[in-house]
Structure 1
């Protein structure tokens, strides 16, 4: 077993060259490989997605690109790829590919949440929980962590404000692998440094994401045959609540118009749609009071995704009760209940309260990265107390989908985003 553990601490041999050039027509983009001097040795990426996959990080160093009249992000605007030794405040087990892409996933979300202190906790390139708060970073962290404390274990925390000692103290009560912030208070840094394997990244650009949010970059996807798909990066058109479109549709002479969200509902929809940009499709997000309640990722059908996300919300709700009242995870309490009558009684009570509370979903809003092909997913969301929904619109059955929210008691709201937010 000890030999197997070595694979995670052994660095992959890096055979990649120091520079990379990409030519598109008459444009030439030059990239430079990133390495860092750590503990007196030059090191690049620890490894790729797995320990036996060598990998290298490249930063755009020179060249400009414009396609279809759209200017792409040029040199000098990198965030994660621009890291130097100065930004690696504490390298811990210095970063591998997954660590950096999780931080980058945080950037994807936070670029649309610059208006308030915000926290995103990520694992495997998907948010576990996210929140923003007028009360500050500590409150945002608590809400993001509470959303799914089980998935957050071993994750990456990315914030858009200077890390304060209060937030840092909360963070060190849990095992995280990476924390990234635009800056750190001295007291916060001292607390974080007590976790010797924690990778601490100071990325000043996290405080300036608003300026980058509208600048597209060249998004490259690689195929298994070595081919490449090039696309413009996703650009979120919903930057304020005023950008939502009224949910209205007409079919067979019937016009359907949905209720407009309240200001509170609209702000939660705005927040959730920003988080949606960082979630693997096919996905939905339940959110309430500026925080995610449950995030459903990567499912094949939309109603199934809603169903599984409701299950996740109920499971996480029960786990929060179990941890608060017994100091155990839900799964630990279930195991203990097999032989302990007191634990069995508590578990039954927690399940009863979870069912009564519908997993904390009543009063939440829901966003969907794609339209609803049928009203079944909407009806399912309404059954657990969702009061407002945002979705792209454009389904042949939009009139039926709108009818679902109009028939709800009390009537629910719906808006269209006018764009899909798939991420594959």
Structure 2
């Protein structure tokens, strides 16, 4: 369906003036009449273009601080009239309504206003009313009317005018209409989400919006289509990172890189370097070190096999020494808050490695929504920002943990928050030495983590697994003593867990019998 229609009259009203003058000149060169409002009209006139004020068309001045200017039949009639409907054409003639063939609108910057911390009154004033109304009118009548809401659509639109002697095709108008409705939906989503936070409690209706950042080659598997959308947040992470080299990130790369960066962001760089290595969204090694290279090496030693082809996240800018160590094996992605020239030069030789840098770490204490789709709906919850301070855990055994055990338990507890349940984490001297993830039985996770440590000890020629003298974190309570006993058999000396089981007394008694120290956090970290 071609259905070419000419563009003779355009209404332009934009907050973002990028490319406005060039667009106006291109339209004027085709003798398109330009209608406009406020600052947009001034910008066009300053460029020497002839512009007619919308107030001249409506017969009403802009009023109420600009709140009312385009909400008028002379505007919306010109947008909504069906050009091939005799009654509509007659109504336009009777009431002196001229057809409008193009609307170019980008909305008041509500999202930016909220992002910079504006107060309630200022945020309300930046809710656009006339803009969305015009967009929706033009989009509904896309059989005849063009609507542009994004600056990046100026060039394709002008190319279409050039190709069809000042006319546009139905296919273009339809695509522009879809983009327009998505924009108003995302805009209303931003407003309603912000207002929900002001009111408090789960809203009756919840919407989500995003902007296409990347069309992906495929999803988790080659037969699945996929795309990456951003939500406009400036929070450091995979969505806002700069990619320096390597091919495009895949669906799985993005998912795993996000998991890695969120985990490493838990570790304050002021307290020393930290590294997290992720495989299939689970950490296979996390460690602190005196240097970034040492932190990487200690994380790598937790599970060298799984680290191959993994994602590495660092809490400090990548340096050359660390890059050289990382480069010894194949790695999919490295993400860090910066990278020096030596590191970038070393990685430049590895064309398949993606290097991403961010403007900082993600703040792990800032709550945000976590959304998961289920059949017929969505599950929405706050992101898990739960933390325990050194003085929060309650010692429930006869033996008190040593200072080193307590430090390691808090480290393990932090990592456990980012491991799929059931999660068991063995830690020794600020490094994971065994990770058990995603098992249906907690005791199985305990055994798997210990078995991995045993395998690493054999591979490294160690006399005993590093779980000897380690501590253990469990993301949820031990329902029976068997998991604790398994950890003790692997050489663990202390445990951190939420507590709250009906058999806590049995578990505590088993810990006492084994000479273990154990603390309860009163907090659970399920991650499904």
TM-score of the superposition, structure 2-length normalised? 0.60
Aligned residue pair count: 334
2:283 equivalent among 103, 106, 127: 127
| 1:236 positional shift | 2.2
> Is the partner of 1:178 in helix, strand or coil?
strand
2:331 equivalent among 157, 170, 176: 176
Distance in 2, matches of 1:118 and 1:268, equals: 14
Query: 2:512 matched to 1:406?
Result: yes
| Alignment correspondent of 1:423 | 527
1:210-241 CA-partner distances (Å, limit 9, x unpaired)? xx221111111111x24211111112222x32
TM-score of the superposition, structure 1-length normalised? 0.74
Contact 2:261/2:335 (<8 A) preserved: no
| Alignment correspondent of 1:279 | 419
Unaligned segments of structure 2, at least 5 residues: 1-174, 197-205
Query: 2:416 matched to 1:245?
Result: no
Distance in 1, matches of 2:265 and 2:391, equals: 18
| CA pair 154-131 structure 1, distance change in 2 beyond 3 A | same
1:359-386 CA-partner distances (Å, limit 9, x unpaired)? 2321000000110111111111112221
Contact 2:476/2:526 (<8 A) preserved: yes
1:80-137 CA-partner distances (Å, limit 9, x unpaired)? 2223xxx1111x121012111111111332232113210001111011111012x110
Correspondence 1:9-408 to 2 at 5 A: 21=186, 22=189, 27=196, 31-35=209-213, 43-61=214-232, 75-83=233-241, 87-90=242-245, 92-114=246-268, 115-133=271-289, 135-206=290-361, 209=362, 212-223=363-374, 225-238=375-388, 240-247=389-396, 257-321=397-461, 357=464, 359-408=465-514
State the structure with more CA Rg. 2
| 1:46 positional shift | 3.6
Contact 1:46/1:95 (<8 A) preserved: no
Contact 1:108/1:277 (<8 A) preserved: no
| CA pair 101-50 structure 1, distance change in 2 beyond 3 A | same
> Is the partner of 1:393 in helix, strand or coil?
coil
| 1:60 positional shift | 2.0
| 1:79 positional shift | 2.2
Contact 1:258/1:402 (<8 A) preserved: no
Report which stretch shifted further, 311-320 or 411-420: 311-320
> Is the partner of 1:269 in helix, strand or coil?
helix
Distance in 2, matches of 1:108 and 1:181, equals: 11
* More strand per residue: 1
Contact 1:283/1:305 (<8 A) preserved: yes
Structural RMSD (CA) = 2.2
| 1:192 positional shift | 1.0
